[in-house]
A and B are shown apart, each in its own frame.
Chain A
Amino acid sequence: MQVNQTKSQFVAVASIAAELSAVMEVAKEISLAAANAKAIAFRAGEKAKGFQPITDFINELAKDTIELVNNINEYAFHLYRLTVNEQRMTEACRRFEKVGQLAVGARYADSLNAPLQQVRQRNQVCHREFIIQVSELLIKLADVMHPARAARVIAANSRIEASQAGEYLQSLQAVAESVDNAAQIINDKVHKCRSALTIINVAE
């Protein structure tokens, strides 16, 4: 286990936490856009009849995304704890090996062999668990991509429905744009998370 590897794990896990935080904010924006759209559609009445069920659907997508991100955050935190433990054990291995070099000829030098073996084993177990968690997190992140993709389709439908809403056209088109942009941002952020994790996997 190299020190640089745990450093890159720290960077990757920190990046994921930052990107997930941004995804959460964007999902909340979608939720707000849905509420706004619902109010406009209500005022527009018959002219925006086709738009009303879409607003509910947008809101559901936002809720799903928030729930998924909350769930993923727990994985990210667990990955962080694993990285801290692994870093500590990597450091312990390095320092114990140094003790071995300095303690040549010491009466009780061999007594360090057992702790050194244990630390090496714990380090390996910890790293294996990290890799498993990364794989599971990649799957979870793929799940977040689904509502984001669905949101883009809904945004396209919303534009069509907005075109029939008379004087509410501009307001509803703005809602559609907002949802579309938010979905694109989520897509990009999640993609960045996946890239950060993939780099760790490739490093393996």
Chain B
Amino acid sequence: MTEALATGTAGAVLAPDRSGARITARLLHSKATLFWAAVVLVVVLCAVLAPLIAPSDPLKGDIRDGLLGPSAHHWLGTDKLGRDVLSRVLYGARTALLSAVEAVGIAAVVGIPLGLLSGYLGGWTDRILMRIVEGVMSVPFLVLAIALISVLGPGLWKSMAVVGVVYAMTLVRLVRGEALAAREELYVDGVRVAGAGSGRIVFRHILPNITPPLIVQITLMIAGAIIAEATLSFLGLGAQAGDASWGSMLSDAQASIRESFFLALPPGFAILLTVLAFNQVGDGIRDLFAREAKAGSMGVNPVLKAAGQGEAPPAGVFVDDPVLSVRDLTVSFPQPGAGRVAVVQGMSLDVGRGEIVGLVGESGSGKSVTAMSLLGLVPDPGRVRAASIRLDGRDLAGLSFDELRKVRGGEIGVVFQEPIASLNPAYTVGDQVAEVLREHAGLSRAQARERVVSLFGQVHIPDPAARLGDYPHQFSGGMAQRVMIAMALASGPRLLVADEPTTALDVTVQGQVLDLLLELREQTGMSILVITHDLGVVADVADRVAVMYAGQLVECGPTEEVFRRPSHPYTEGLLTSLPRNVRRAGRLPSIPGVVPPPSAWAEGCRFAPRCAHARPECSAGPIELAAGGRDRAARCVRSHDLTLTGVRALAGEPSAAPLASVRIEKKP
């Protein structure tokens, strides 16, 4: 749920920009990664410019100058043969990077295509390739390298080729796993249907999509290859004795460790620093991409108390004796370059005792954020402010998160859209509902169990005692939603907040869940706030309806009256564009355009750009929600002079229209 909410709001709030630009911006914020990238750059520059900046020839020295300490002439001293250590370290960087490039290059050229092939084609290709990979990887790397080098003969380029082949196996595995997952993506079906052949799908579509993890892996592999080069050279299997390589320098240092311990330090530090830098850069890149995937952390967001009481809402919003009473609720999210943008603005809403209120709107209207803000579940960068949120007279605005937590799951029960995803797959449903009871009501284990059985009975789960021990995946969507409702009922809430409770369910199951909500309201007298985009669901269960558009309440009133005779053109648009089970008569009416993103919301009426009835005065300034009769309100300057179309007029048939029923035709 938080994910959906986070992506929904983040998608709506953040101005669309290129993913590349976004990653660059994030990179600039990550100072540590930038620092290590600079270190990598320095190492690369040393390697490239070695002939220019090295003070002397790394391979020539005067044996009479052997084992000198650091001095102005030889900054890092000389080795046993009198060669300048600084020059050898610089040239060593060359050897290290070139060998790393060789090994990783071979790994990429061999590993990526094989991995793609294996993952995309599957079947026997995959099985054979993976057995080979496993075989190679089950032999310790050094043993394999030594064995192969003994066949090929020593030499740096040959040994690094062996390293490359071993690394290729790792890459095959990684790429194969990624390709296997990508193959199931819908966009791959899309391009298959478009007629693209396997080669095109694999290299033009799957490869670009799996590049991020590949970049990370290859960066880390370079670090590994540098160590491998040093190890092999140290053992005499890589760079030959005279060559400038950090590994062979260490080997030389070891030979003369009794005369000079210092000799080991420069190559040692060079290896340490370079490998560390590559690893840090790799981890940094991984974090960049990982953050790309999740749109915001799950924050704890209590409702802040707004200064002042806010303006009193018009008469149509009030009910007598409300269970929930929200006044002047505003939810804002930060937007780069635009400060904070309010996605819900000045929202006021009452839910009466035992009343079912439907909160409807399209995606981006702010209906889910409104519901989540009541519960303190708005994700982190969001900020929630309200003049007051009264639950049975007690103000929730200004409560700490812990106090709010007791209210949520206590006096307010919550049901989400994806019932199976909202349950923890690792515990039985019985345990999960019992946990709520033990937490909020302090029941013992046996009492809780008994209560869960009766709750399951109350929500009509067949054979409740037997199903307690089942895991969420053993439930169908409808049954899992019943479990969620039972969980919400466990603490005897006064208000049930149901966020798209039937959207993920089949239509026949949806009906049963809605019937259950109606029945529970009768039994317990609790109030229900149903958040939905489906006007049919509202017509079915809600006594009153609140319509949201672009973060504002635009119309509010008894469902039947509002749907019969809407006062706001947006409500009219929604009602008339809804395909109903009536004879097709030409094109479906539709509202032109789309809900604009919050940054583009107009100063005046936010619906005006899409409204067929718009006049210049609509855009002149903010439109207030105004009472229209005893129990209705609308945010439209023309609501009194417009006659808008509701559901009945559209149907164009008598109210007693016969409903579909099975006609039994017997064969003669």
A and B interact? no
Residue ranges of A at the interface with B (Cβ–Cβ < 8 Å) = none
